[in-house]
Amino acid sequence: MKVFLDACVLYPTVLREILTGCAAQGLYRPLWSPRVLEEWARAARKIEGGEVIARGEIAGLRARFPGAEVAPGAATEARLWLPDENDIHVLAAASDAGADRLVTFNMRDFPRRDVAAEGIELANPDAFLMELWLADARVVAEVAEEVRATAEALSGEVQAMRALLKRGRLPRLGKALA
């Protein structure tokens, strides 16, 4: 299954690490565009030094998933319409890459009928990860535990799985793994 990841699910860190960890375990093939990665880097500017860190993480993702980066074709972008024209590049890249799913928090910006017309299913990240968990609970739990342990080591504080995932906007997965 090929899954296009919108910028809003690549930044924040916990969500990105769980999504890419599941991809690294072969549960799906991740896709993104250069513009999506640039949006992530720009969003990270809000935190001092955040853009530099984001660009380093982006370089790591590019190395880890060399076939994941896809660019939309101009013809595809020209024929699409979305409520927010700044999101057309996302749907165009997902369509041109043959994505099966588009994972985003911005559900209102991607009307299901327009996404479905491209042969793509729209998914919230929590619902998508729950689907992966139902298919292979052991792998998703191992990935989430690795992310939790890393967060705990970096913060120096106890990180309860359910609370960490709730802060990461993954309440259903957090409940399932608690």
pLDDT recorded at residue 85: 93
pLDDT, tens digit (0-9, with 9 covering 90-100), for 63-88: 999 999 999 999 999 999 999 999 99
Among residues 137, 131, 136, the alpha carbon closest in space to that of 3 is found at 131
pLDDT, tens digit (0-9, with 9 covering 90-100), for 12-30: 899 999 999 999 999 999 9
pLDDT recorded at residue 95: 97
Helix, strand, coil percent values for the chain (each to nearest 5): 65, 10, 30
pLDDT recorded at residue 178: 86
Burial (Cβ within 10 Å: 0-12, 13-18, ≥19) of residue 91: buried
d(CA 174, CA 141): 10
pLDDT, tens digit (0-9, with 9 covering 90-100), for 122-136: 999 999 999 999 999
pTM for this structure? 0.94
